[in-house]
Chains A and B, each alone.
Chain A
Amino acid sequence: MSPFRHKSNVFGHYATLIVLALITLIPIWVMVSTGFKNDVLVQQKEPVWFLFVPTIENYEYIMNRGKFDRYLWNSIIVGVGSTVFTLVFGGFCAYALARTEFRGRVLVANSTLLVRMVPPAVLAVPAFAMVVNFGLDNDRAVLIFFYTALNLPFAIWLLFGFYKQIPVELEEAAIVDGASPMQVFVRVLLPLMTSGYAVAGIFTFRISWNEFILALLLTSRKTRTLPVGAAGFITDTGVEWGRIMAMGTLIVIPPLLFTFFAARQIIAGMTAGAVKG
């Protein structure tokens, strides 16, 4: 059914949507366009929105002298690593929560979200102290560890919901059909969970990819991720907006690709699904 109940409302709805779209798109345009401006244009008092001669000098600088490849590699390792760990462990935990009966089960599942409400900035100082004491700073594994910890609650909560939708009878039918626990998981549960894992994966990857404060504190020259790398253009002699924006534009691309890929799995999962008969 169309959410637009009355024709007369269509105009209002579209107006709202257009405003919301602009709020989202304008900053992105500012970022992309600034990345293609030279310093003079950037510092100009009257901003130029569309009509300027684009330059790729910012990109050239980033690629040749900004150690972009190293940051990218670090970000990919940290992002993919924490996503994999979050999905694997979060999946196990969500499954256990969905399938075992105990008092306060739903409360436990939902209260995992509380942990999520703690902003990383609050954790930054204790995390830094711990990591330095253990002598683990400047190790990418530490970032993977922290991002996994930060993302697990939400992933558990989300996957819990997905697992709960799969009737136990499906597993029982598979068991009676002679499937081992691993076969039940791989051949019955996993195909039905692709949507869930895709959604959880999108969120986890994006958050790990974008996270700044912990990455700033826990990395050094060798292990820096892209957002920290971009912040490196804030220098003593001024903020190099063109380069920051160019880098920002590049940073956005991998999560976009990842989201498109994962979103396909969501649709594939939905067509496979219709779990309820």
Chain B
Amino acid sequence: MSGVRLSGVTKDFGTVSVIPSLDLDISEGEFVVIVGPSGCGKSTTLRMIAGLEPVTSGSIFIAGKDVTWAPPKQRDIAMVFQSYALYPHMNVAGNMSFALRLARTPREEVRSRVQRAAEMLELTDYLDRRPRDLSGGQRQRVAMGRAIVRDAYCFLFDEPLSNLDAKLRSAMRTELAILHKKLDRTMIYVTHDQIEAMTMADRIVIMDRGIVQQIGSPRDVYNAPVNRFVAGFIGSPAMNFLDGEIIGGDTPAVAGDGFNLKLSGRQAEAARSHRNHRVTIGLRPEHFNVSGAGGTEASVFAPIELEVQVAEYIGSSQFIAARIRDVPITASIEVGPDSAPLKSGEYQFDTSRIYLFDRESGEAIARP
């Protein structure tokens, strides 16, 4: 059994249980992103894997070895910190080679490994600079370099991109994905940014209040969220939620204040068999469209009235902030670059794309 495995791991801080029970299986070479809102226990999980935080109970295995009580040194891991944590008194080469020097690696090998990592990260011109003379993006790279040089079994990333500006962040995302391909190492990446999770992960672990909500590929968690939390967390802009009720017997519809959407297919089937009539309806912003627009073969359109407050022009599509009665709705509508600002009125929604959740438990009843 290789990879990284957490088995029944719990963590309490004093009387507060941060992680009630966590089981996680990460295969060797996999890129797993743990994502969730702040305080959900994702960083604590990472720190427990790193050995910086002791577990309250449970076991952690890395590469098949029980490392639950092993110090970080013996876990064969490298970590990139959110604040980079570069040693300010050492230059870039010194920072990258610190671990190797501690391990008394022969000098020649240290040099060649630092050189190789620096080339990979385009840092060769900066090797004798101090961290404070570097830009944010360069520091970020040095932090990565420090991890790469180690050639560890597992790489841990604790929100490494959150201090970068938007443009640099998306560039580093790509680089990280490429890096993962090149190094072919197990990587565990913690973030609160679902875009980072979606773009880089082989598998996403979504956590909330210390509990894993869903584990799956980006496609799975986007298309088939198991509950309302996951549905609302994954996807940008976020999914719209409307409280409604299932009405009609054989030809069911969901209706609420200001809307009435006839269901068909899978959604209709689920609505017929679901006992609780009170549901939450999930509508992804990208599935709204102007009236009369075409869709795929499976599309079944239902009219929906939107009171548009602002329409943001962003090129080929428009983001609209609207309302259905009192409920705010965001929609992203593809209307082409020459379109006029969208106005209030009738829009259409593809009802084959409706998500239904039980209003009490939040569990998904039906999905596209």
Listed stretches B25-33, B82-90, B227-235, B349-357; interface member: B82-90
Could you say which interface size class chain B belongs to?
Answer: 20 to 34
Say yes or no for A239: interface residue by CB 8 A criterion: no
Task: Chain B residues near A187: list those with CB within 8 A.
Answer: 98
User: Nearest residue in B to A192 (C-beta to C-beta)?
Assistant: B89
**Known: A272-B89, A274-B132, A277-B131. Is A177-B77 also a contact (CB below 8 A)?**
no
Residues of B within 8 A of A273 (CB): 88-89
Q: Is A174 within 8 A of B86, CB to CB?
A: no
B89 partner residues in chain A, CB cutoff 8 A = 191-192, 272-273
Interface check B11, CB cutoff 8 A: no
Per-residue B-contact encoding for A164-176, CB less than 8 Å = 1, 0 else? 0001011011111
Within 8 A of B (CB), among A164-207: 167, 169-170, 172-179, 183, 187-188, 191-192
**Pick from A167, A176, A275: contact of B72, CB under 8 Å:** A176
Residue from A172, A179, A272, A274 in contact with B85 in the complex, judged by beta carbons closer than 8 Å: A172
Chain B residue at minimal CB-CB distance from A170: B85
Q: Take A167-B83, A176-B52, A277-B139 as given contacts and tell me if A272 and B72 are in contact as well, using a CB distance cutoff of 8 Å.
A: no
Q: Is B190 an interface residue (CB 8 A)?
A: no
Q: Select the residue from A169, A176, A179, A273 with max chain B CB neighbours within 10 A.
A: A176
Confirm or deny: B50 has a beta carbon within 8 angstroms of a beta carbon on chain A.
yes
Whether A169 pairs with B85 at a CB distance below 8 angstroms is yes
User: In the assembled complex, which residues on chain A have CB atoms less than 8 Å from the CB atom of B88?
Assistant: 192, 272-275
A169 and B83 contacting across the interface, CB-CB below 8 Å: yes
Q: Are B79 and A176 in contact (CB under 8 A)?
A: yes
B146 at the interface (CB under 8 A from A): yes
Set A172, A177, A191, A272: member contacting B98, Cβ < 8 A: A177
Interface string of B83-113 (1 = CB under 8 A from A): 1111111000000001100110000000000
| A191 CB contacts on chain B under 8 angstroms | 89
Residue from A174, A192, A277 with most neighbouring chain B CB atoms (10 Å)? A277
Establish whether residues B103 and A178, one from each chain, have CB atoms under 8 Å apart when the complex forms. yes
Name the interface residues of A127-177: CB closer than 8 Å to any CB of B. 167, 169-170, 172-177
Give the contacts of B287-346 with A (CB-CB under 8 A).
Answer: none
**Contact, CB under 8 Å: A178 / B73:** yes
- B259: Cβ under 8 A from any A Cβ: no
The reply to whether B98 and A176 contact each other, CB–CB distance below 8 Å, is: no
Number of interface residues of A (CB under 8 A): 21
CA separation between A88 and B51, bound complex, in Å?
29
* A27-47 with Cβ < 8 A to chain B: none
B81: which of A173, A178, A192 is its contact (CB, 8 Å)? A173
CB contacts (< 8 Å) of B50 on chain A: these are 176
Give the complex CA separation of A187 and B99 in angstroms: 12
B322 to chain A, nearest CB (A): 42
The interface residues of chain B lying within 8 Å CB-to-CB of A272 are 88-89
Chain B, range 121-167, C-beta contacts under 8 Å to A = 130-132, 136, 139, 146, 150, 163
Chain B residue numbers with a CB within 8 Å of A173 are 79, 81, 85-87, 146
Residue in contact with B52 in the complex, picked from A172, A192, A274, CB distance below 8 Å = A172
A266 to chain B minimum Cβ distance, whole angstroms, is 14
**Bound-complex Cα distance A147 to B72 (A):** 41
Across-interface contacts of B48 in A (CB, < 8 A) = none
User: Which residue on B lies nearest to A190, using beta carbons?
Assistant: B89
Q: Could you say which residues of chain B place their CB within 8 Å of the CB of A192? A: 88-89
Question: For A277, what are the chain B residues with a Cβ–Cβ distance below 8 Å?
Answer: 83-84, 86, 131-132, 136, 139, 163
Task: Say yes or no: B102 contacts A172, CB within 8 Å.
Answer: no
- Indicate if B78 sits at the interface (CB-CB under 8 A): yes
User: From B75, which residue of chain A is reached at the shortest CB distance?
Assistant: A176
Given contacts A169-B81, A274-B132, A277-B131, contact A177 B86 (CB under 8 A): no
Given contacts A192-B88, A272-B89, contact A172 B81 (CB under 8 A): yes
Q: List 13 A-B contacts (CB under 8 A).
A: A170-B85, A170-B87, A172-B79, A173-B86, A173-B146, A174-B87, A175-B71, A176-B50, A176-B52, A177-B98, A178-B72, A179-B102, A274-B130
Nearest 3 CB-CB pairs, A to B?
A169-B85, A274-B132, A177-B99
